[in-house]
Amino acid sequence: MCGIVGYVGSEQASPILLEGLSKLEYRGYDSAGIAVFNEGKIEIAKAKGRLAVLEEKTHNGATVHGTMGIGHTRWATHGEPSDENAHPHISNSGRFAVVHNGIIENYIALKQRLIERGFEFMSDTDTEVIAHLFEYYYKGDIMDAMIRVINRVEGSYALGVLCSDYPDQFIAVRKASPLIVGLGEGENFIASDVTAILKHTRNIYYLEDEEMVVLSKDGVTVYNKDKEVVPKDVFTVNWDISAAEKGGYEHFMMKEIEEQPKALRDTISPRIKDGKIVLDDISLTTEDIKKINKIYIVACGSAYHVGVVGKYVIEKMCRIPVEVQVASEFRYCDPIVTKDDLVIVISQSGETADTLAGLKEAKNHGARILSIVNVVGSAIANASDDVIYTWAGPEIAVATTKAYSTQLAVMYLISTYMADKLGMITSGEYARLISEIEALPDKVEEVLKSKEEIQYLASLFYNCRSIFFIGRNLDYAVSLEGSLKLKEISYIHSEAYAAGELKHGTISLIEDGTLVIALATGRDLFDKTVSNVKEVKARGAVVMGVTTKDHDMTEVADHIIKIPSIHETLLPSLTVIPLQLFGYYVASLKGCDIDKPRNLAKSVTVE
């Protein structure tokens, strides 16, 4: 959530900050602002609404001069979207300007204390407290002030701070909120995400919690809270900048849907060698696997839906009990987790606040942590015992597609790997699974060829008020994701239900013309699902069936989408593709802002 960019160098800062913020729009925001040091003082420009409003207000940065500055896109938490609540926030004297991602949990007490000491507040945000705390604690040394501030505040934060007493450098810090440092030649950067600065540098530092960084145009130094210099390894971003550009597509979401075959190859191919799954990323031994008492899968949103698939797959293949929990519930339910349990944590960004907190809760109970993430060096990756990177490349659209698909692929690899180590599958079944996993990218390409058919179906139903998804077992797990895709980008009310639960209340919602999307791909449960389809048809529903080429739904479904046949365990990877496309085309026909749906953010770094 939110986006931070900072720059110090020889160029005018404002255009660079605005350009960087434009690369962070996908994170979600409702206001934007910049602060630039110019001739002994800090100049602020900020505005409610899209970044274009700020660009127009500043003539693309031309009216705000200076070669050092910080910028921010805000997603409202404390205080409504407004010019006053937009970042950067400035201290009463004008000496300090602050941008902040995260939430200060004890801001009310701090605000009251500062008011009692004569500080005046101009906004409703928690962040303004930080600007005034810097003023309160500052005694001539910016780093001392920073240490006192971060010792005082509770919560999560990534901070970028300008001080008018320091005309050639600025300072930043992070705790439980993403912030990277970009290393240039005669210029240096901070950013929430590498996409904001990739045009200028590929060399970055990843900051650990409570590490501070001082940036000037000639150098970057990282310190801990004892003011000791912290050596950092330079990480070089190796993916091409075009991966974060639309490349001729109207929306990033469609580009990323189309990128799924490549993303799957990048995830799968390096991990299958000579017909064997090789997980060099992890230290989980055969003995470790045999000792696992229970597996918890902890995640949010689409990653949680991957976990639901994972439960079915792991339990069937490995016969280990699996519990899937939404991270925001797991951290507060006093989970019964022990040192003999494995906790699989899934997050695209590796910075999801609730998921990270759930990870820490599990570690407090002594559990082993295996994370599935996309972003190298992210907080969740660094806090895990083992990590498997999906290598999906940058995903810009808020609605995930290729990150979800690559997480699924990793889940298949883990499940098959453990089943083999436990002796739960025969050598023949293992070989067949490996072959089918390797075939996934080609079969996803085959499904993508049905785009025009799905676009036509979207044209029939984009005016629906409610759409229901039903399925059983793995089909139910994919229904959850299909429903989420539709609702988050098209704003159509949509729900997913286990097909067998219809008669327990949900069927009362079905009326003439209601669209029901029925997933019926599994062999053993196909007839059961068909019976449920007949139930909704009898109540007037229009049914869109999704099934494999081995099954026939012509007698019960009004419209049918066929996917290729594959090992039943892997069906979710194919079934989800037409649902992603359907959601995309419905949203497009409705004229929605597909890549930046209202009220949503790509990386949820606040609770």
Domain CATH code at residue 202: 3.60.20.10
Question: Looking at 234-291, which runs of residues are DSSP E strands?
Answer: 235-236, 272-273, 276-277
Residues 239 and 309 in one domain: no
- Distance in angstroms (rounded) separating the CA atoms of residues 224 and 212: 6
Residues 191 and 99 in one domain: yes
Residues 178 and 278 in one domain: no
Question: Dihedrals φ, ψ of 411, to 5°?
Answer: -65, -40
- Distance in angstroms (rounded) separating the CA atoms of residues 264 and 44: 44
68-74 vs 31-38, strand pairing mode = antiparallel
For 126-182, what is each residue's pLDDT tens digit?
999 999 999 999 999 999 999 999 999 998 899 999 999 999 999 999 987 889 999
- Both tokens assigned to 169: 């450098």
- Distance in angstroms (rounded) separating the CA atoms of residues 53 and 203: 31
Q: What is the mean pLDDT of residues 292-313?
A: 97
Which residues is 347 bridged to in the sheet? Answer: 373
Enclosing H/E stretch for 206: strand 203-206
Residues 46 and 112 in one domain: yes
CB 14 within 8 A of CB 64: yes
Residues 238 and 281 in one domain: no
CB 296 within 8 A of CB 325: yes
Residues 338 and 283 in one domain: yes
Residue 602's pLDDT is 62
Catalytic site residues? 2, 602
- Distance in angstroms (rounded) separating the CA atoms of residues 150 and 142: 12
Handedness of CA 380, 329, 406, 288 (dihedral sign): positive
Asked whether residue 155 is assigned to any structural domain, the reply reads: yes
Q: What is the mean pLDDT of residues 241-250?
A: 74
pLDDT band, residue 606 (cuts 50/70/90): low
Residues in contact with 315: Cβ distance below 8 Å, sequence separation at least 6, in sequence order: 321, 322
Residues in contact with 48: Cβ distance below 8 Å, sequence separation at least 6, in sequence order: 30, 31, 81, 82, 83, 86
Count the neighbouring beta carbons within 10 Å of the beta carbon of residue 426: 10
Whether pLDDT at 424 is above 90: yes
Q: Which of 222, 300, 340, 328 is nearest to 480 (CA)?
A: 300
Count the neighbouring beta carbons within 10 Å of the beta carbon of residue 280: 9
Residues 439 and 520 in one domain: no
Residues in contact with 472: Cβ distance below 8 Å, sequence separation at least 6, in sequence order: 498, 499, 500, 522, 525, 528, 529
Whether pLDDT at 480 is above 80: yes
For 64-117, what is each residue's pLDDT tens digit?
999 999 999 998 888 899 999 999 999 999 999 999 998 899 999 999 999 999
CB 206 within 8 A of CB 21: no
Distance spanning both ends of the chain, measured CA to CA: 11
Per the structure, the complete domain to which residue 312 belongs is given by 253-444
CB 405 within 8 A of CB 485: no
Residue 335's Cβ-side half-sphere holds a number of Cα atoms within 13 Å equal to: 32
pTM: 0.79
Count of the separate structural domains present in the chain:
3
Asked whether residue 209 is assigned to any structural domain, the reply reads: yes
Average pLDDT, the chain: 93
Residues 382 and 319 in one domain: yes
Residue 450's Cβ-side half-sphere holds a number of Cα atoms within 13 Å equal to: 23
pLDDT band, residue 547 (cuts 50/70/90): very high
Residues 70 and 163 in one domain: yes
Least confident residue range of 343-357, 386-400, 498-512: 498-512
For 178-210, what is each residue's pLDDT tens digit?
899 999 999 999 999 888 998 999 999 999 889
